Amino acid sequence: MASSSTTMRFSAASTGAAAALPRRSSVAGFIGVAARSSAKSRLRFIGRNANLSLRMRRMSSFSVVKCVSGSEAKVQDTVAKQQEATTSLSSFTPDASSIASSIKYHAEFTPLFSPENFDLPQAFLATAQSVRDSLIINWNATYDYYEKLNVKQAYYLSMEFLQGRALLNAIGNLELTGPYAEALSKLGHKLENVAYQEPDAALGNGGLGRLASCFLDSLATLNYPAWGYGLRYKYGLFKQRITKDGQEEVAEDWLEMGNPWEIIRNDVSYPVKFYGKVVSGSDGKKHWIGGEDIKAVAHDVPIPGYKTKTTINLRLWSTKAASEEFDLSAFNAGRHTEASEALANAEKICYILYPGDEPIEGKILRLKQQYTLCSASLQDIIARFERRSGANVNWEEFPEKVAVQMNDTHPTLCIPELMRILIDVKGLNWKDAWNITQRTVAYTNHTVLPEALEKWSLDLMQKLLPRHIEIIEMIDEELVRTIIAEYGTENSDLLEKKLKEMRILENVELTAEFADILVKSKEAIDIPSEELQSSEQAEAEDEKDDDEVEAVAKKNGTDESSIEDEKEELPEPVPEPPKLVRMANLCVVGGHAVNGVAEIHSEIVKDDVFNAFYKLWPEKFQNKTNGVTPRRWIRFCNPDLSKIITEWIGTEDWVLNTGKLAELRKFVDNEDLQVQWREAKRSNKVKVAAFIREKTGYSVSPDAMFDIQVKRIHEYKRQLMNIFGIVYRYKKMKEMSAAEREANFVPRVCIFGGKAFATYVQAKRIVKFITDVGATVNHDPEIGDLLKVVFVPDYNVSVAEMLIPASELSQHISTAGMEASGTSNMKFAMNGCILIGTLDGANVEIREEVGADNFFLFGAKAHEIAGLRKERAEGKFVPDPRFEEVKEFVRSGIFGSYNYDELMGSLEGNEGFGRADYFLVGKDFPSYIECQEKVDEAYRDQTKWTRMSILNTAGSYKFSSDRTIHEYAREIWNIEPVQLP
């Protein structure tokens, strides 16, 4: 089966430690000298070293020393000293000198660059490897202790982990920011410049992945035993470029220089199978044989907690084929592509996140990705459970030691895969395996959008995962039995409705057993005698008609077939609907808990998305409002504001206990605090203005209001309404004199950021439109600094860390009832930004906490949306003249020659795909622009605005991911914190 290490420790790839070194004017000079040192001096250099790297390597210098000396006594002495140093690590606090030595060591002994110089990229990698040493020590200590206690652990499975840069976060959590800054200064570099060299890990797209990363930070900080599992995408989602044609996608290059944070675990790999067939063995067990076999290999990334030794793990899987799959004879015969086909098929599984799924090849690849994540992770979890259990494995204890959380529907295959392993591999019966699975697995729902509630072709899944379809069919049968038991057979219409709504298999006929039950249920309904009589009369009339037709045919010398030909042609047969597997339904059935991610979303989940399931199993459904880590999203990304908060609250405890942020309310009217607050905000705006100039060429004023909407580009998030509002503002400005413009409008810099999915044509049109508006407005000399429109290319976590602290107004304007939660709204509020938004997702709770007077609200409510769409379909909607005015202005060609008919057309008509303004931009537009007028009015009074800003930070305390994780741990996973000794 799988190869799996007997220990879960990290091991360093290369070894040794740097000594105290002669002073040089450059690190490059030192490296050159060290490279020319004799073997004997190098032995002394390593053996007597007492710096950071020595203390952070357990067996590490063994290999280096052995290479240069035959003295076993010295080797053993060095190893013993290192082990001794490691055991005393808890009392050792690295200083700038030891850190500098560690960085120098890594620049020479674990280089990814040539040693001729020590420029910024090399400085980053050496610094990151130095930090990783500390993380490895803490990681080993954490999992040694977990192994010893055999505690229950949570495993968080997600297709996305949007980590962002790790260096500043890691040294911040380790409380080593100051020493690392000083050490790098000694080496001729600034910490900020070194950190800037790190590429963002391209493992996510948006809120789903960023939430997963915040959860890992909180799990480690709160000392919860947990792991994350994901895929190691070689090229990520894509890197976004903005050109005159709009968005262009190119492959991410985040791994081109290597990833210094990961440890490749070649000893931890598992087989993953696709295709093949299922056969029954003589032992009565099912065996999945043949097909395509690949290997999933573990890459581990340590995740440190804040002010704690606890360091947990993010395990990412890469995929490859065994070397014997390479067809050497075919290669030598010149058939190179054929020879390496198996290798290419295996490796491409982890090439990119969310490959386009319009072609069948894309669908296959996505399903392979999802199964690889589930299969490799569960095999790993089970191997660890078995190892901890020793000789006597009690599978009933599995849910007492393991909690598996599925982040959205992507990891749904965990359910049939766990069943397959328990039944086919471990020999459990169906009943026991199903009980264990349901007690182990839980599901987080992140969306109400139909396209995100995944459905897979039954035929495709049957080919790719034949054994899993057998298991899913059996789960579906179990569900059907439950539904029949719950609703009975008296009301056949109700029973049919429930089966259609709740079954996992859509458009799939019931088995004979259940089909007979439905037939009998219908036959049991008594037909009234008058209906029976009418039926008999109808049959007699039909017979009479047939006789008359035959008589006419004989009289006219024609046969019946020619008469039939003259009748109206029969309609084309209706195509059979596709047979599908509803993954969300499988999640609800197979798990013991289902949670939404905001109060309003969780209510929609219960009342609408899964209402039938909620009525059947109300105890399964919970709410877990999302949160963000206050470490990354205010403490590290906004140090100026963090210092002010700490000064006024009187403690830095708020970083771990965000409830203390509420104490800012006591000082909200203090003039000194308000002045400091505004200064911190302006300082951040100056940085963003420089960033915008560097990335786009546009110059913006830091004295203007910074109005920001950054998130994935999607019609329901309504970036289109935002840019329409800007167009309306621009048009009104153009109709005024210079003096009128100055009097009526507050200067604004309107900033957009986000990626449109590569095949989402309408979203890409929106990006193009925003950039076209910006190109016109920003070059209009009449408007000047009164209005600027900027689209920041390639929006990611690092860009967010810069923009959010500088934001003053942030737009969260999705159609009500369509955003599950949002997390950027929490980050903005935490940084003293005021939100304009609808009552959607977490906006509802943010408004409650910060106060209605400190939130700009507009738009229809969630419960009104269905009625408004119905009104539209019936042709009763009358658009506001201002909305029509904007559309006509766009069509006039003011923003260039690009044809925006399709974009404008999506907002028109009463029905039809891609039309009828499904997301209600036109309906909400009047209240939106009126609300924006209130924003201008409030901003003119800077005392009032600053007060609102402070109250947003004070009211954001609820939205820490620490609070969310505590709730998951108590109410879903049943795990306890484990404090390391």
Select which of 498, 685, 711, 847 is catalytic: 711
Note the pLDDT tens digit of each residue in 248-295: 999 999 999 899 999 999 999 999 999 999 999 888 889 999 999 999
Query: Which pLDDT score is estimated for 797?
Result: 96
> 57 falls in which pLDDT band (50, 70, 90)?
very low
CATH H-level, domain 636-959: superfamily: Glycogen Phosphorylase B; (3.40.50.2000)
User: Residue 679: which of 825, 855, 788, 806 has the closest Cα?
Assistant: 806
Residue 491's pLDDT band (boundaries 50, 70, 90)?
Answer: confident
Please check whether residue 949 is in contact with residue 833, taking contact to mean a CB–CB distance below 8 angstroms.
Answer: yes
Catalytic status, residue 463: no
DSSP labels for 100-163? HHHHHHHHHHS-SS-TT---HHHHHHHHHHHHHHHHHHHHHHHHHHHHHHT--EEEEE-S----
Which of 717, 718, 741, 847 is catalytic? The answer is: 717
Active site residue 827: yes
976 CB-near residues (< 8 Å, 6+ apart): 151, 152, 224, 969
SS3 for 489-524, per residue?
CCCHHHHHHHHHHHCCEECCCCCHHHHHHHHHHHHC
Give start-end residues of each CATH 3.40.50.2000 domain in the chain: 636-959
Share of the chain above pLDDT 90, in %: 78
Which pairs from 742-745 meet CB under 8 Å and 24+ separation? 742/786, 745/786, 745/787, 745/936
What is the structure's pLDDT at 84? Answer: 46
How far apart CA 216 and CA 625 sit, in angstroms, is 16
Query: Is 74 part of the annotated catalytic residue set?
Result: no
Is 281 within 8 Å of 287 (Cβ atoms)?
Answer: yes
Q: pLDDT band at 10, cuts 50/70/90?
A: low
- Half-sphere exposure for 861 (CA within 13 Å, toward CB): 4
Q: What is the distance between the alpha carbons of residues 320 and 327, in angstroms, rounded to a whole number?
A: 15
Query: What pLDDT, in 10s, does the model give residues 857-869?
Result: 999 999 999 999 9
Nearest of 854, 840, 764, 750 to residue 803 by alpha carbon: 750
pLDDT tens profile 649-708? 999 999 999 999 999 999 999 999 999 999 999 999 999 999 999 999 999 999 999 999
Catalytic residue among 712, 764, 812, 847: 712
pLDDT digits (tens, 9 = 90+) for 321-352: 988 889 899 999 999 999 999 999 999 999 99
Q: How far apart are CA 885 and CA 907, in angstroms?
A: 13
Q: What is the pLDDT of residue 60?
A: 35
Distance CA 185, CA 100 (A): 9
What's residue 36's pLDDT? 36
**DSSP letter at 960?**
B
**3-state SS, residue 876:** coil
For 381, 388, 809, 953, the CA distances from 975, given in Å and listed in that order, are 16, 17, 39, 31
Residue 769 in tokens: 């439109």
549: confidence class by pLDDT, cuts 50, 70, 90: very low
Out of 827, 869, 872, 963, pick the active-site residue: 827
Active site residue 953: no
Q: Tens of pLDDT along 79-133? A: 344 444 444 444 567 899 999 999 999 988 877 777 777 899 999 999 999 999 9
Structure-block tokens of residue 225: 């035993």
Choice among 446, 624, 635, 755 that is catalytic: 446
Over residues 352-381, the mean pLDDT reads 96
Angle at 616 between CA 611 and CA 619, to 5 degrees: 95
H or E element in which residue 318 lies: strand 311-320
Distance CA 257, CA 125 (A): 9
Contact 405, 157 (CB under 8 A): yes
Q: What is the pLDDT of residue 30?
A: 38
16 vs 634: which has the higher pLDDT: 634
910-932: per-residue pLDDT in tens? 988 889 999 999 999 999 999 99
Q: Which ranges of 16-59 would DSSP assign to H, the alpha helix? A: 27-35, 39-47, 52-55
Among the listed ranges 67-71, 106-110, 410-414, which one has the minimum average pLDDT value? 67-71
Q: What is the DSSP letter of 831?
A: T
First-last CA distance in the chain:
36
Summarize pLDDT for 192-208 with one digit per residue, the tens: 999 999 999 989 988 89
Tokens representing residue 388 in the block: 């901890």
Residue 726 above 60 pLDDT?
Answer: yes
In degrees and rounded to multiples of 5, residue 424 shows phi and psi of -80, -35
Residue showing tokens 């690849």: 365
pLDDT in tens, 554-595: 444 444 444 444 455 667 778 889 999 999 999 999 999 999
Question: 521 falls in which pLDDT band (50, 70, 90)?
Answer: low
Separation CA 518–CA 501 (nearest Å): 16
Sequence-separated (6 or more) residues with CB below 8 Å from residue 252: 202, 233, 235, 236, 237, 238, 239
The average confidence (pLDDT) of the chain is 88
Output the pLDDT for position 684. 98
477 HSE (CA, 13 A, CB side):
13
Question: Active-site residue 446, yes or no?
Answer: yes
Q: How wide is the angle at C-alpha 603 spanned by C-alphas 600 and 609, nearest 5°?
A: 115
Q: What is the pLDDT of residue 940?
A: 97
Indicate whether 41 pLDDT > 90: no
* CA separation, residue 893 to residues 245, 674, 728, 887 (Å): 16, 45, 15, 11
Q: Where are the alpha helices (DSSP H) in 174-294?
A: 177-186, 191-195, 207-221
Is 309 among the residues known to form the active site?
A: no
Q: Give me the pLDDT at residue 226, please.
A: 97
Task: Give the per-residue pLDDT at 818.
Answer: 95
Q: Is 405 helix (H, G, I), strand (E, B) or coil?
A: strand
Angle, helices 942-954/921-940, rounded to nearest 10 degrees? 110
pLDDT at 310: 96
Residue-level pLDDT at 568: 58
pLDDT at 118: 87
The per-residue pLDDT for range 897-910, each reduced to its tens digit, is 999 999 999 999 99
Token output for 342? 């198996």
pLDDT score for 630: 97
**Catalytic annotation, pick one of 437, 823, 838, 964:** 823
Short-list 351, 212, 358, 237, CA closest to 754: 237
Any idea which residue has 């289109």 for tokens?
A: 720
The confidence score (pLDDT) of residue 61 equals 31
Query: Could you give the angle at the alpha carbon of 668 between the alpha carbons of 666 and 669, nearest 5°?
Result: 110
